[in-house]
Amino acid sequence: MKAVILVGGEGTRLRPVTCLNPKPMLPLMNRPFMHNFISWLMSHGLKDIIFTACYLPRPFIDYFGKGEKFGIDIAYETEKVPLGTCGAVKNVEKYLKGSGQFMVFNGDILSSLDLTDMINFHKSKRADITISLTSVEDPTAYGLVPIDSEGRVREFLEKPGRDQIVTNLINAGTYIMEPRILDLAPAGKNYSFERGLFPAALEKGFRIYGYVSSAYWLDVGTPEKYLAAHHDIGLGKIEFDYPYPEIEPGIYGGTNVSYNRESFSKGPVVIGDNTVIEKGAKIEPLTTIGKNCHIASGARLCGCVIFNNCRIGKGSQVSGSIISNSVTLGNDVIVEGCSIIGDNTQIKDGNILKNGIKININSKIVRGQIFF
């Protein structure tokens, strides 16, 4: 079965980390998010992949090429203007004609959904469309999909008010479709599945089913959820193939990592190639450090994600926050509370960045400038 992966969004909610890096290629435990995603698809026999790109397409092509290194086939289509979730799939219809039902994936979900079982469900129901559904505690920010006792979709409720909540099942961003469904979508226009094609198909009487799963599922679209993805993997909530061997119990390290054992209390911690952790630095659990980084003595890192080529100065502390590529923190800088530092930024000594503050790419924050 062919799989279309939607990777063309701008990822605005994750700015500034998505200013230079497309969301599905952001690091997840030091490997591109899409690497783990492709492994998930491959484990269910999906090896014929079509990437629908738009915003920053190059990193996908550079990393995956035609898929030969992974033993799969990858085709790319890059939209000149964003066509929306359904418009992007309509735009690759030529790859899907004549090969039967196909799957569509939002490219920003971390999930262990059993795709094989979902495909069997789709076939057994003789569905035109099957939508994976997951339950969430607060469904108000999502599209709700109530189903009947047979699993057939009754209606689509986009971002409902509190009084409209009839189910906590939401669209989990993975679909199986019969090719004729795409006849309902306009070509070359921005069109969405959630607000366009799905309600239109329901109205016309197509057989739309919801496949309910309690498998791990997270839409990695916000800074909080991007960090949560790392923490959940570290806590073992989803099976994950770490990119490196354990160099100490619970400490996964690449080649040429320089460290002292006393820097770690316990894992999990992930450290990229050639990173230096000076004696006297403290690396607490659920921390990921990229490659070619330098963590100075007296620095303390906890539950944070640090990309490649970063320098963390003496006595600086980073907790529950994201530091993008090639960032330098001076001495005694504090970054906490889901704050984000954009690529190529310098934060001089003594700044205090907290409460979800976002520092744009290529910034230079002078000594002691921010402290509230």
d(CA 172, CA 210): 10
Min separation Cβ 312 and ligand GTP, Å: 28
Burial 58-75 (b: 16+ CB within 10 A, else e): ebbeeebeebeebebebb
Q: Name, in order, each residue with C-beta under 8 angstroms of 176's C-beta and a sequence gap of 6 or more.
A: 1, 101, 102, 103, 104, 118, 119, 122, 127, 129, 130
Smallest CA-to-CA distance from 7 within 105, 92, 132 is with 105
Min separation Cβ 360 and ligand GTP, Å: 16
Q: Name, in order, each residue with C-beta under 8 angstroms of 263's C-beta and a sequence gap of 6 or more.
A: 277, 279, 280, 281, 282, 283
Q: Give whichever of 54 and 119 is closer to ligand GTP, judged by the CB atom.
A: 54
Q: Give whichever of 14 and 347 is closer to ligand GTP, judged by the CB atom.
A: 14
Min separation Cβ 370 and ligand GTP, Å: 25
DSSP character at residue 308 = S
Tokens standing for residue 278: 């000076």
Q: Give whichever of 140 and 260 is closer to ligand GTP, judged by the CB atom.
A: 140
CB 261 within 8 A of CB 281: no
CB 108 within 8 A of CB 55: no
| Catalytic residue (one of 66, 94, 123, 159) | 159
d(CA 353, CA 169): 37
CB 357 within 8 A of CB 338: no
Q: Name, in order, each residue with C-beta under 8 angstroms of 47's C-beta and a sequence gap of 6 or more.
A: 41, 67, 71, 72, 73
Min separation Cβ 174 and ligand GTP, Å: 11
At 268, the amino acid letter reads P
Q: Give whichever of 88 and 341 is closer to ligand GTP, judged by the CB atom.
A: 88
Min separation Cβ 311 and ligand GTP, Å: 29
Q: DSSP for 109-161, please give it.
A: EEE---HHHHHHHHHHTT-SEEEEEEE-S-GGGSEE--B-TTSBB---EES--
Q: Give whichever of 2 and 291 is closer to ligand GTP, judged by the CB atom.
A: 2
Q: Name, in order, each residue with C-beta under 8 angstroms of 9's C-beta and a sequence gap of 6 or more.
A: 23, 54, 55, 82, 107, 108
Q: Give whichever of 36 and 106 is closer to ligand GTP, judged by the CB atom.
A: 106
Residues at the contact surface with ligand GTP, assessed by CB under 6 A: 6-13, 23-24, 52, 54, 79, 82-85, 88, 106-108, 221
Q: Is residue 159 annotated as a catalytic residue, yes or no?
A: yes
d(CA 294, CA 262): 17
Q: Give whichever of 109 and 270 is closer to ligand GTP, judged by the CB atom.
A: 109
Min separation Cβ 163 and ligand GTP, Å: 25
CB 67 within 8 A of CB 175: no
- Name the closest residue to ligand GTP (Cβ): 9
Min separation Cβ 224 and ligand GTP, Å: 13
- Catalytically active residues are 159
